[in-house]
């Protein structure tokens, strides 16, 4: 057990990676063997994530240095800078890791029945494992160049998954847009890494944060990193790829590509709070994040209202809800140099923003899965052609109702808790922002109610009178998320104290992140 706890950061990333290469070999023996193997490996990985989460909650920051004489020996004997590749797991990394693991578990169980009849199924599961490895590596990395490598792994796997149904023309187009945007953004990240390396001659995040002086070149690097991560997380005005890609991705891969966007958001926060955190004394960087958040909220929901394709509407809502997270963290970033304001409302804003990440990923994944369930039975995503589905697809209707009420912020579901935190704290910062946020929430509820009335109630369409409910594995996958949504909604205080507040502390106190690697080096 001690062995598992010490080596957990690398086993979580290495075991699914090896499994991704074994799955095509096993797939030649049969579907059941392959599915059983995938679920076993993923169960083991989820157990390791739970072990590591408990450990990080008790101990604080965990380090893993590759190839050293001991796992936590980040700076070798006689050196003053860390020269090895390091994984550094703090509370914010663990928070994102928990989100990604839960969504992947639900998506895997959901996809078991969905792919019957498709060719190349072994590659689908391999790609899902590779996407999981990319996202967890992005969460755990303590090294700027490893951030680039895992970002590219996640992008390539995500694009291949989005274009999986190559017999449809629009699927390949959605995947192509995703890979083009990801390639350009990753090259900009590499350029910024080159600039930072040329100045300070170290690559690990803690060491750069220790040595950084805020020169002009560093500001250029921050601008490049901000633009690159804004492209990846679909913030307006760089959001054009998101509706196309989220619409065409099959089965359980849409929640995972969604989670990959929020891992890019985590990378943005890691860079701004940890590396540049000591130099933010005006509110300029915070206001930049707030403005991108406001634009995303507003443009996302306005474009979503008049969509007829159900998944495209949900994709625009994903852009809009991403704006809430940027708003919350942006307010925290704007007041980070001001201790009085930070204690009054900055921490609550950051708690609200971070809590909203996990809430949003859960209810958006549930909504996407419900929409794909409808597509599985009917074969169309156009809401004008759907009607009266509530008679025959009771479980799917129930899950859609849970998701829609959660996204609109109705108690007792989890959206209410995080949105209330954001409203209260942002109101004290600047009232106009809170008013825009509440207006966006109203329009969100309106658009989901419109789709509910047209698709689920009313007389059934003559072509679809005989639809049945979706298979059991899909219902099990969706119900995992629904149970978590209701649980988070009923006990928000418990969740905030256990996993959200430590994450906020980890982001604000960048000194502890640096000291974990550099020791007490002056």
By CB under 8 A, which span of 90-98, 170-178, 215-223, 473-481 interacts with another protein? Answer: 170-178
Per CB under 8 A, contacts with another protein among 62-91 are 64-71
Work out whether 200 is an interface residue with another protein (CB under 8 A). no
**Which of 90/244 has CB closer to another protein?**
244
Work out whether 208 is an interface residue with another protein (CB under 8 A). no
Work out whether 427 is an interface residue with another protein (CB under 8 A). no
Work out whether 160 is an interface residue with another protein (CB under 8 A). yes
By CB under 8 A, which span of 100-108, 141-149, 390-398, 432-440 interacts with another protein? Answer: 141-149
Work out whether 166 is an interface residue with another protein (CB under 8 A). yes
**Ordered alpha helix ranges (H), 61-143:** 91-114, 121-140
- Binding another protein by CB under 8 A: which of 31, 40, 47, 198? 198
Work out whether 227 is an interface residue with another protein (CB under 8 A). no
Q: Confirm if 326 and 226 have CB atoms less than 8 A apart.
A: no
Work out whether 194 is an interface residue with another protein (CB under 8 A). yes
Work out whether 22 is an interface residue with another protein (CB under 8 A). yes
Instruction: Please give the Cα distance from 139 to 93 (Å, whole number).
Output: 5
Instruction: Please give the Cα distance from 219 to 233 (Å, whole number).
Output: 21
Number of residues that bind another protein (CB under 8 A): 56
H or E segment and range at residue 144:
helix 144-162
By CB under 8 A, which span of 134-142, 177-185, 353-361, 431-439 interacts with another protein? Answer: 177-185
Instruction: Please give the Cα distance from 59 to 512 (Å, whole number).
Output: 13
**Residues linked to residue 62 through DSSP beta bridges, in sequence order:** 89
**Which of 232/464 has CB closer to another protein?**
232
Work out whether 1 is an interface residue with another protein (CB under 8 A). no
Instruction: Please give the Cα distance from 181 to 189 (Å, whole number).
Output: 12
Work out whether 401 is an interface residue with another protein (CB under 8 A). no
Helix, strand and coil content of the chain, in percent to the nearest 5, comes to 80, 0, 20
Q: How far is it between the farthest Cα atoms of the chain? A: 78
**Which of 202/393 has CB closer to another protein?**
202
Give Cα separations from 68 to 74, 128, 173, 521 (angstroms): 8, 31, 45, 19
Angle between helices 310-334 and 414-429 (to 10 degrees): 40
**Residues linked to residue 382 through DSSP beta bridges, in sequence order:** 309
User: Where does this chain bind another protein (CB under 8 A)?
Assistant: 7, 10, 14, 17-18, 21-22, 24-25, 64-71, 119-120, 145, 148-149, 152, 155-156, 159-160, 163, 166, 169-170, 172-176, 179-180, 182-184, 186-187, 190-191, 193-194, 197-198, 203, 243-244, 247-248, 307, 312
């Amino acid at each position: 057990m001690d062995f598992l706890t010490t080596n957990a950061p690398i086993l979580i990333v290495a075991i699914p990676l090896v499994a991704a290469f074994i799955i095509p070999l096993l797939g030649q023996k049969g579907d059941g063997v392959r599915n059983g193997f995938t679920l076993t490996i993923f169960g083991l990985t989820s157990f390791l994530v739970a072990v590591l989460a408990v450990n990080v909650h008790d101990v604080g920051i965990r380090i893993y240095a590759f190839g050293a004489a001991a796992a936590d020996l980040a700076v070798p004997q006689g050196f003053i800078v860390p020269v090895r590749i390091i994984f550094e797991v703090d509370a914010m990394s663990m928070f994102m890791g928990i989100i990604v693991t839960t969504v992947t578990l639900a998506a895997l169980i959901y996809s078991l029945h969905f792919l019957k009849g498709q060719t190349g199924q072994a590659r689908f599961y391999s790609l899902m494992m590779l996407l999981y490895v990319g996202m967890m590596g992005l969460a755990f990395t303590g090294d700027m160049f490893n951030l680039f490598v895992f970002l590219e792994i996640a992008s390539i796997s995500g694009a291949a998954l989005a274009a999986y149904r190559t017999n449809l023309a629009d699927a390949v187009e959605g995947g192509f847009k995703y890979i083009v945007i990801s390639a350009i953004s990753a090259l900009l990240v590499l350029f910024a890494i080159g600039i930072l390396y040329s100045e300070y001659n170290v690559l690990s995040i803690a060491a750069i944060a220790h040595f950084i002086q805020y020169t002009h070149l560093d500001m250029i690097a921050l601008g490049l990193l901000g633009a690159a991560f804004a492209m990846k997380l679909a913030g307006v005005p760089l959001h054009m790829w998101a509706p196309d890609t989220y619409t065409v991705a099959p089965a359980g891969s849409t929640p995972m590509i969604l989670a990959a966007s929020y891992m890019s958001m985590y990378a943005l926060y890691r860079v701004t709070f940890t590396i540049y955190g000591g130099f933010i004394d005006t509110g300029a960087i915070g206001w930049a994040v707030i403005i991108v958040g406001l634009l995303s909220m507003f443009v996302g929901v306005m474009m979503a209202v008049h969509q007829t394709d159900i998944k495209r509407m949900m994709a625009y809502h994903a852009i809009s809800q991403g704006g809430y997270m940027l708003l919350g963290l942006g307010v925290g970033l704007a007041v980070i140099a001001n201790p009085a304001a930070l204690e009054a409302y900055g921490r609550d804003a950051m708690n609200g923003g971070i809590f909203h990440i996990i809430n949003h990923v859960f209810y958006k994944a549930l909504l996407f899965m419900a929409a794909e369930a409808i597509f599985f039975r009917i074969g169309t995503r156009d809401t004008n052609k759907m009607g009266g589905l509530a008679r025959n697809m009771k479980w799917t209707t129930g899950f859609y109702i849970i998701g829609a009420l959660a996204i609109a912020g109705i108690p007792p579901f989890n959206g209410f808790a995080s949105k209330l935190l954001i409203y209260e704290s942002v109101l004290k910062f600047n009232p106009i922002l809170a008013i825009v946020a509440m207006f966006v929430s109203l329009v969100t509820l309106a658009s989901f109610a419109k789709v509910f009335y047209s698709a689920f109630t009313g007389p059934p369409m003559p072509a679809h009178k005989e639809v049945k409910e979706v298979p059991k594995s899909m219902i099990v996958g969706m119900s995992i998320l629904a149970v978590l949504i209701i649980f988070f909604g009923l006990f928000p205080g418990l969740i905030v104290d256990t996993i959200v507040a430590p994450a906020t502390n980890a982001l604000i106190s960048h000194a502890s992140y640096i000291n974990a690697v550099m020791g007490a080096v002056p």
